Amino acid sequence: MKLILCILFAVYTLASAEEDTRSGASISFKNKIQFTRDPAWGTPEKKILIVYYSQGQNTGYIAETLAGLLGADLERLTTRNGKKPSIISASFGLEQAINDLQKNPADYDLVIIGNPVWSWNIIPPVRAFLKTYGPAIKSAAYFTVAGGTEPDKIVKKMEAVCGKSAVSFTGINDADFQEKS
């Protein structure tokens, strides 16, 4: 199930370079539009970076799987001094200092940002990344991993902090990671 979700998001993300000016669900899901993959994505001419924070395994799994499928570079956010973010910081919409990145988001045509949802909000390290690097990002896509929070609510917040509308986004529910018997 996890791999299927990754493939679907990859296809929808790579299908169009145009910005989606909607509010609400990703246009690819909302309108059931069929996309085809632009063969230029994931090539040396079109570079993709996936940036994410993961304290557990779910967000990291999605990011790593997408990177493999898309031929994308991967950047895992780490916090300064190794201090873990708190749910209280997420609740209040605070940032948390992150270490310098190994890759420059400005060098990429598309940056996909992965956010585990805590307390119905952006996690502090991702918020810091969006605020710091958002102006340099050319094109952005987002994915969220949550217990039940609607992705469009979080993505609207991510777009506002980053200053970039999503070309595509998706939400993955914790239940998607449970094995079906």
When pLDDT is cut at 50, 70 and 90, the band that residue 34 belongs to is: very low
- What pLDDT is attached to residue 105? 98
Model's pTM, two decimal places? 0.75
Fold of 2-177: Rossmann fold (3.40.50)
Average model confidence (pLDDT) for the chain? 77
Provide the residue ranges of all domains of the chain, joining segments of one domain with +.
2-177
Average pLDDT in the 40-64 region? 82
Does residue 24 carry a pLDDT above 50?
no
| Interval 66-108: pLDDT, tens | 888 888 999 999 999 888 877 788 777 777 889 999 999 999 9
The side-by-side arrangement of strands in the sheet containing 110-116 is 73-76, 48-52, 110-116, 140-146, 166-173
- What pLDDT is attached to residue 2? 53
The partner residues of 111 in beta bridges, in order of sequence, read 49, 140
Using CA of residue 11, residue 16, residue 19, residue 25, what is the dihedral sign? negative
Does residue 49 carry a pLDDT above 90?
yes
Average pLDDT in the 28-47 region? 47
DSSP letters for 31-96? S-------TTBTBTTB-EEEEE--SSSHHHHHHHHHHHHHT-EEEE--BGGGPPP-HHHHHTT---
What percent of the chain stands above pLDDT 70? 71
For the ranges 36-40, 95-99, 107-111, 166-170, the lowest mean pLDDT is seen at 36-40
What percent of the chain stands above pLDDT 90? 37
